[in-house]
Amino acid sequence: MNTDTPLKIGGLTARLPFIQGGMGIGVSLGRLAGTVAKEGGIGIISAAQIGYREPDFDENPLGANLRAMHTELAKARELAGGAGGGVVGFNIMVAMKHYEEYVREAVAAGADIIISGAGLPTELPKYTDGSEVRLAPIVSTAKSAAVILKYWDKKYKRIPDLLVIEGPTAGGHLGFTREQLGTFTPDVYEQEVSEILGIVEGYEEKYGREIPTALAGGIDTPEKVRRAFALGVDAVQCATCFVTTEECDADLRYKQAYIQAGAEDICIVKSPVGMPGRAISNDFLRRVDAGEKIPHRCHQCLHHCNPAEIPYCITDALIHAAKGEVDDALLFCGADAYKAERIETVHEVVTRLFSE
C-alpha cells in the first residue's frame, strides 16, 4: 500500500488514502468535510451537537441536530462535487444520547459512511440494516478490536467496511485510561497496532475479503504518513492538522489558539463524564481546576452524564470553542496541535502530506 494508492471501502473510492477525522462540536461540519472530499480524501462531519446554531437548539436539541445533519451533509456534497463526487460521512459517538436516532438520520440523509467511536458501536449494523452506508468502528486497543470484530461476526455475520485505529496522541476524547496514556509511548503503540492488524487478518481470512484500516493520532507530516503505511495500514485519519485551515468550520480564534500554543500548553483533562481528553490549557481549565462550578442547563448530549454532579457542561464548553469564545472554552486538540504555525488551506495541507 502506498501513500498515493486510492482507498477502496466496499465499492466507494477516495482518490487519496486519508480520512479527515470528525471533530465536534462544530469543528468539522459541511464546509471542512466537503472541501476535504473535493481534495480526494474522505470528509467527515461530526454529528455531536451539530445543530448548535439552530434557533431552537436550547429547547429542542435533538430536533435541531437531526435537521442540521441534512443541511451540513448537503453542503458537504455540493462542495465535494455533487452525487458521484467525493466521499462524505458522519462521525457519531456511541456515548451520545439518542445515538440510534443520529445513526438512522445519517442513513436517511444519504451519508456514504458512518465512523463511530467513544464506546464500541456494537449495535451499529442493526440501526443501518437494509442501507448501503459503510460502517467503520474506531478502536484504540487490541482488546477493543477483538471485542467489536467478534461481536459483529457472531451477531451480524459481518465485518466492518473500515476499521479506524486511534492512538494515544489523538485529539478529543481518548479511548485510553490515564495509566495507558503513560505506558503507550509511540513505539509501544506500534506493537499494539501490529496486534490489531493481526486480529483483523483473521477476520479477513474468514470472510475472504479485506478490511481496510486507517491509523489516527498525530499524523501531520509526510514522514508520519509513510511510517503509518509501513506499519501495514491502508489509510490515515488526520484531524488536528485540519483545524488550522481556512475551511475548518470553527471560529478563527479557535484556530489561533492552536497557533499560539506551546508544547507545554497541551494537557490531558478529565471531561465531566470521566473520560480523558486532550486540550489546550487556558483560563477556563484553570478555573475548573480551582474548583469553580460553571452554571449550565442540560443539552442532552452524553449518556453517562449527571447534570447535578458535573463541574461544567461539555456541550457549553465546546460550543464556546467553536464560536471562538476561547476563555470560556474547552479547546480540544491533538498532542501536536502546538506545531501549527499558520492558517493554511485544505489543499495546502493535503498537498504537503500526500504529494510525495
Ligand X SMILES: Cc1cc2nc3c(=O)[nH]c(=O)nc-3n(C[C@H](O)[C@H](O)[C@H](O)COP(=O)(O)O)c2cc1C
Stretch that binds ligand X, among 16-24, 179-187, 226-234, 298-306 (CB under 6 A): 16-24
* Interface with ligand X: number of residues (CB under 6 A): 29
Tell which one of 17, 22, 30, 212 touches ligand X (CB under 6 A). 22
Instruction: Give yes or no for residue 332 binding ligand X (CB under 6 A).
Output: yes
Tell which one of 135, 216, 257, 305 touches ligand X (CB under 6 A). 216
- CB 238 within 8 Å of CB 18: yes
Tell which one of 65, 140, 213, 237 touches ligand X (CB under 6 A). 237
Cell of 259: 497557533
Strand 12-14 and strand 163-166: pairing? unpaired
Query: Per CB under 6 A, which of residues 254..313 are in contact with ligand X?
Result: none
Instruction: Give yes or no for residue 172 binding ligand X (CB under 6 A).
Output: yes
State how far the Cα of 217 lies from the Cα of 168, in Å rounded to an integer.
7
C-alpha of 198 from chain center: 24
Query: Per CB under 6 A, which of residues 53..92 are in contact with ligand X?
Result: 91
CA dist 270 to 62, 173, 316, Å?
26, 9, 16
Conformational region of residue 22, where left means phi above 0, alpha means psi within -120 to 50, and beta covers everything else: beta
C-alpha of 215 from chain center: 12
Considering beta carbons, is residue 209 or 266 the nearer one to ligand X?
266
Query: Per CB under 6 A, which of residues 337..356 are in contact with ligand X?
Result: none
- Dihedral pair phi/psi, residue 309, rounded to 5°: -105, -15
Min dist. Cβ of residue 214 to ligand X (A):
9
Tell which one of 140, 141, 240, 315 touches ligand X (CB under 6 A). 240
Instruction: Give yes or no for residue 144 binding ligand X (CB under 6 A).
Output: no
Tell which one of 69, 314, 333, 350 touches ligand X (CB under 6 A). 333
Min dist. Cβ of residue 233 to ligand X (A):
13
The candidate with the shortest Cα–Cα distance to 45, out of 68, 12, 18, is 68
Instruction: Give yes or no for residue 169 binding ligand X (CB under 6 A).
Output: yes
Rounded to 10 degrees, the C-alpha dihedral 280/17/109/324 comes to 20
Instruction: Give yes or no for residue 118 binding ligand X (CB under 6 A).
Output: yes
Stretch that binds ligand X, among 141-149, 167-175, 204-212, 304-312 (CB under 6 A): 167-175
Sign of torsion over alpha carbons 200, 223, 267, 314:
negative
Residues of this chain that interact with ligand X (CB under 6 A) are 21-24, 27, 46, 48, 91, 93, 117-118, 138, 166, 169-172, 216-219, 237-240, 243, 332-334
